[in-house]
Structure 1
Amino acid sequence: MCGVTGYADLAGTGLTEGEDVLDRMTATLLHRGPDSAGRLVRGGVALGFRRLSIVGLEDGDQPILNEDGSVAMVCNGEIFNHRELRAELEAKGHRFRTRTDVEVIVHLYEEYGTGLLERLNGQFAFAVHDTRRGRLFLARDHMGILPMYYAVAGGRLVFGSEIKAVLAHPSVPRRADLTGLDQVLTFPGTVGSRTLFEGVSSLENGHFLLVEDGAVRVEKYWDLDYPVDVPGEPAEHPDRYYVDTVRELLEQSVRRRLQADVPVGYYLSGGLDSSLIGALVHRNTSGTVPRSFSITFPDRGIDESRHQRLMARHLGSEHTETEFHPGDIAAGLRRMIGHAECPVKETYNTCSMALSAAVRETGTRVILTGEGADELFAGYLGYRFDLGGRRTAGGDPFEEELRRTIWGDPHVFYERDYHAWRESKLDLYAPALRDAHAEFDCLAGPVVDPGMLRGRHPVHQRSYLDFKLRLSDHLLSDHGDRMALANSVEARYPFLDPDLVRFATTVPPRLKVTASTEKYVLKEAARGLVPDEIIHREKFGFRAQGSPALLRERIEWVEDLLSYDRIKRQGYFDPDVVEHLKEQYRQPGYEVHPHLGDDLLLVVLTFGVLLDTFSLPDA
């Protein structure tokens, strides 16, 4: 895993930036790549690179060039089918300079151009500069595991693995994006190409960007595509076929993600997903005892250590526990937001950051996690509700019209009634923003591609929305990539292998969720690998204490960020409403419900941290 950055001339004036500009941009990514740095400036394009050495430790520095130097690449990520691709390319006459996995991208580009993306199984975000065609080609992996941000400003395309690298270019202004803020208040996080920084876009999962003749074009090459639902149509295969194939593909995925020249471990939460990954890690590891890592809490209400230890003993792993105390949230919150580059509704990112620090302390550089199983195999409680058919809008014509706008279908329900929520969240905004809300309302148009929901089974509709709104731009971004790389640890996601994901779209909904259980097919696949006590556990979401606990601690910097005068001066939120929330949240025993409520005060607090960290102006 690494960090990439750079910029390209769009105006035809040539690059006039001093060398220090690229160096400053690259330096912001030191945590992503502490092992070495690289740079290349040529033909109106500048490429910067920081390396975290995982594969090909001795010869994997970047940029990597093809045989005649006409194609140069910097890549953040791993290509898990690189051995097969390398053999194929060598047979075609290509000569490799390194033993790294990502060099295949350079030669695949020579053969297939942008079509190379169809050949890759991996997690990646890369930039390819082609001097013959005068082209810059950026791409992000199918699932959105690795980030790529960009801005068009001052006659430049500026890009980077993190927003802080983009902001380090002098042509990119620093302003808060109000639609991004509105998305955070409405959904699990930002959505699609939106960020919290005006003019800075996220290259969406399954998309690539081309710069040619000074023009910038973004195209989609992949999406999570469920089949159109045909009620009563029998399954194409017997039930056992789906169970066995899921297990086979998941084991293949784990084997692929164990490829590394450095130690590899896995997270163990105590739930089904991480336990199944751990079991397959042990089945496919020889010679060394795999390491497992868990976070524990003194609060028994959120602690899962009993099941974590049960699984660690069952597997015989070398297990490391990190106990996380309530005071650790405040201690890590500001650093966490600096890495997440986004306000949050939950504090658990601080736990994840502490966990990756514990991984790094053992010398482990790669970690396997269970993210993606809930979204692909119907792991959340809401999937059970969908079994009864489509959720209606309760006869509310405003809600029906809003659903038609954002989903393309008035019968699609996801998480909440958004018309009522839109009215509620308006109270939180400062009066001037409240009056101007129509200008940045995140519900004013389609949120996702309506064509990917149309005609699909309700379970698959929810899966698609979970994938786009919860997983790609939240759990894999501010929670996954950022919290692991904050401590120079690479996270890998076996459930998000493209082969497994494609197969998951063919599994009948009735094998994913029943009236009594979620992830049915996955639980069946886990039998014999994972103890029944874990297979039959009710889902227990990863969570930590929220803003009520922070407020009751009376921490000086928290009080300052939420003070009436500061909130009023900044002009984003209504100071009277914030004061009311503070009074409510400070009540003894008050907690925000983890499933039915949003920690609005934490959004206000962490947005204040974001403003300070990135020197963003008042509204």
Structure 2
Amino acid sequence: MCGIAGARLGRKAHDGDLAEVRRMILRQTHRGPDSLAAQRVGPALLASSRLAIVGVANGGQPFCNEDRSIHAVFNGEIYNHLELREQLSRRGHSLSGGSDGEVIVHLYEEFGADCFQWLDGQFAIAIFDSRDGSLHLARDRMGICPLHWARLGDALYFSSEIKGLLAVAGMPRRAEPRAMLQLGYFGAVCAPLTPFAGIRQLPAAHWLSFRDGKEEIRRYWSLDFPLAGEHAGLSEAQAADGLAHRLERAVASHAQGEFEPTCFLSGGIDSALIAALLQRGRQDRVAAFCAASEHGRMDEGDAAARTASVLGVDLRRVRLDEADIAATFPRLIWHGETPVISTEASALMRLAGEAGKRSKIVLTGEGADEAFAGYLAFRQYRRFGALTGRGLAPLRALLRPWLGGHYGSDCLLPGEDGLDALRAHFGCVPAQAYEWEFYREALTPLFSADLRAMAAAGGCWDGFEFDRGAVRGRHWLDRSLYVSYQVMLPNYLLGAHGDRIYAANSVEGRYPFLDRELVEFAAALDPALKLRGGREKHILRVAAGRWLPEEVAWRPKTRFVMPFGTPFAGPGASPLYAELLSPGKLAEYGYFDPERVGRLFQALAAPPPGGSKAKRYLRRLALGLGATFVASAQLWHYLYLADGGAAAPEEEARQSAPVSIA
């Protein structure tokens, strides 16, 4: 994991510009502490902070071609670089280094901006072509590596992290209200928006070309699910064989580098498969890390220990409690650069820190739920989805009072306006609507009057982008899986819950289940092979039988749950949270209604209300989500916007770095 930054100015760059891009990359030295470089090329500035994993000795950046007309900086890994290197050499290119990123400039020479479709991996890339003065930015297919950009006058600036852009003189520091509304509905900010007005994130699988003061953004790849009834005609055995072969290849390619990889290990099948395939053929035991706690639902230790014993991996338990979460939270928000609605990422931050003491590479199981229908919402939609059909409004009107009374929520049967909005923006009602409607019920009422009015007017959809044609004519499960890949995966799981956590600890997170070939193979499979008899990930469990015992392969899915809200209130909470959650600060920052937030924390401290088990659980969950959202948004504003960001943690804002930047 590296960091990149730079700019394409409207004039030739001078020494002052080079100093500015150095400030941009110095804000990101946690992403790559091994070496830093900054260079000016005519009107362009390119900088990188390197985490050396492949080609450690001679992989410095920026890369350039033979006549130095093309320069590039790069974050990530190109897993097919050896094949590309061989093909480029046959075409007459001279590749003198050993870094995987070296192939980028030569591919660009051959194919121009179409080169990105040839890359398999996780990447954020910036290429400057001095022949026509154009700058090209690209982001990997899944959105693993972040890439942000902003216009300032006639210049375009880019950076892996937003804090790099905020180091530019004159860059505005303002909240984007539409982003707050998206957090209140999706639980995440969706590209191209960010929480900062005027700063955008490049969507996954897109490239941006900037020439003559104008930017153009295009998609270079899309995950294509078959039309309903036209899936690959594979038997269960054939599908399991094909999946096993691709998973083996994905884990092997994602383990490459000059450091021994580590992994996370929970009680679930996804991480168990990664650990099993990593351990195969190795004499030394692979280090695996899991979260452990005295609180039952925070503890993965027992299940992970049983799996580790079978696989022969070296399990390291990282103990967590509420005090750990509260202490880690400011660092999480600083690195994540966004408010969040749960505290789970705090646990991952601790795990990544421990893993980083052992290696620079961590393999993790994210992406399996998207490929093989692992989320609860898919099973819920199988039961209730037909009720969202057009023409059934009278039936829904009859059912809502009963569902609302039993669950204390209308999320399983959203209102007609909500269903119409989903159809308008997605071309369907995806399974995720249950979760989003629950977020809306829990979070939107906490907003200030102005933000509530914007939300009522559909403000969360302003700036939202989605290709409705990609789900037209598809099976209902494939439609929802596509939504997962496009909305929740890049904007939630791989952002503040992914890249930023690893980068904060100078570690590279890698995702074998997001391998392009594996993802495309899974997308072509019959939905009945993924969700069968109410059980998720059916075909993955069948394939896993090659390496895992039945008890692990068919273990029911459980959700890792961290405490919501309680780390920020009560006698053990930090005085910082008491200040940020005070009526005065809530009114000053302007996102939330102080009286409503006060009632929220009073309810959180009170005994749980009566009612069904489901109703009590959802009530508690809503209160916890709300408390975490409010605390994180106040903390985000305090760190980034209050007094011009003066409250940013000094040790994080000014990372130790090499004495000089090349």
Same fold (TM over 0.5): yes
Corresponding position of 1:369: 364
CA distance in 2, matches of 1:188, 1:434: 16
More displaced 10-residue stretch of structure 1: 415-424 or 185-194: 415-424
Secondary structure at the counterpart of residue 466 of structure 2: coil
Q: Deviations over 1:469-514 (max 9, x none)?
A: 2211111111111111111010100000000111111110000001
1:610 is aligned to 2:636? yes
Aligned equivalents of 2:629, 2:441: Cα separation in 1: 17
Amino acid at match of 2:26: A
Tell me by how many angstroms 1:16 deviates.
Answer: 7.8
8 A contact 2:589–2:637 mirrored in 1: no
Which residue identity does 1:577 align to in structure 2? R
The aligned residue for residue 62 of structure 2 is 63
Q: Which residue of 2 aligns with 1:345?
A: 341
Consecutive unaligned residues of structure 2, counting only runs of 5 or more, are: 394-414, 610-615, 645-662
Deviates more, 1:587-596 or 1:115-124: 587-596
Question: Which of 265, 268, 286 is 2:265 aligned to?
Answer: 268
Instruction: Give me the identity figure in percent.
Output: 35
Deviation at 1:543, TM superposition (A): 2.3
**1:44–1:234 CA distance, 2 compared to 1 (3 A):** closer
Alpha-carbon distance in 2 for matches of 1:168, 1:94: 37
Would you say the 8 A contact 1:148–1:159 is kept in 2?
Answer: yes
Quick one: distance in 1 between partners of 2:584 and 2:511? 44
What's the TM-score, normalizing by structure 2?
0.88
Matches within 5 A, 1:104-115: 104-115=103-114
TM normalised by structure 1 equals 0.94
User: Is 1:560 the equivalent of 2:579?
Assistant: yes
**Given the alignment, which residue of 215, 233, 237 partners 1:236?**
233
Give the whole-Å Cα distance in 2 for the aligned partners of 1:527 and 1:142: 29
Q: Name the structure 2 match of 1:569.
A: 588
Q: 1:604 offset after TM fit, Å?
A: 1.1
Unaligned runs of 5+ in 1: none
Conservation of the 8 A alpha-carbon contact between 2:370 and 2:481? yes
2:512 corresponds in structure 1 to 494
1:144-163 CA-to-partner distances (Å, cap 9, x unmatched) read 11000011122221111101
Equivalent residue pairs, number: 612
Distance, in Å, in 2 between the alignment partners of 1:501 and 1:179 is: 31
Higher helix proportion: 2
Aligned with residue 467 of structure 1, among 479, 485, 488: 485
1:5 counterpart residue number: 5
Distance in 1, matches of 2:464 and 2:228, equals 22
Q: 1:109 to 1:573 in 2, by over 3 A?
A: same
Amino acid at match of 2:522: A
Deviations 1:325-366 (A, max 9, x none): 21101111001100011111111111111111111222x110
Deviation per residue, 1:175-223 (Å, 9 max, x gap) = 0111111111111311121110111111011000111122111111112
Decide whether aligned partners of structure 1 residues 361 and 159 sit closer, same or farther in structure 2, where only a CA change above 3 A counts.
Answer: same
Which of the numbers 359, 365, 379 marks the counterpart of 2:374?
Answer: 379
One-letter amino acid of the counterpart of residue 407, structure 1: F
Which residue pairs with 1:259 in the alignment?
256
**SS at 1:126's partner residue?**
strand
**DSSP-derived class of the 2:547 partner:** coil
Q: What pairs with 1:26-425 in structure 2 (closer than 5 Å)?
A: 26-230=25-229, 236-283=233-280, 285-362=281-358, 364-388=359-383, 390-392=386-388, 395=393, 396-409=415-428, 411-416=429-434, 425=443
Q: Following the alignment from structure 1 to structure 2, what is the Cα–Cα distance between the partners of residues 373 and 178?
A: 33
C-alpha distance in structure 1 between counterparts of 2:176 and 2:636, whole Å: 12
Higher relative contact order (CA 8 A, sep 6+): 2
Using the alignment, how far apart are the partners of 2:32 and 2:89 within structure 1? 29
Map Cα deviations across residues 396-447 of structure 1 (whole Å, 9 max, x no partner): 54233222222123x5453338789757754322223334546771135765
Answer with 204-213 or 376-385: which moved more. 376-385
Q: Does the 8 A contact of 1:346 with 1:543 survive in 2?
A: no
Residue 543 of structure 2: aligned partner: 525
Report the Cα distance in structure 2 between the residues aligned to 1:424 and 1:261, rounded to whole angstroms: 47
In structure 1, how many angstroms separate the alpha carbons of the residues matched to 2:620 and 2:547? 30
Per-residue CA deviation, residues 268-316 of structure 1 (Å, 9 max, x unaligned), is: 1121000011111112x43432221112111123312111111111111
Residues 63, 73 of structure 1: 8 Å contact kept: yes
Q: SS of the residue aligned with 2:270?
A: helix
Kept in 1: contact 2:8–2:155 (CA 8 A): yes
What is the CA–CA distance in structure 1 between the aligned matches of 2:621 and 2:473, rounded to whole Å? 29
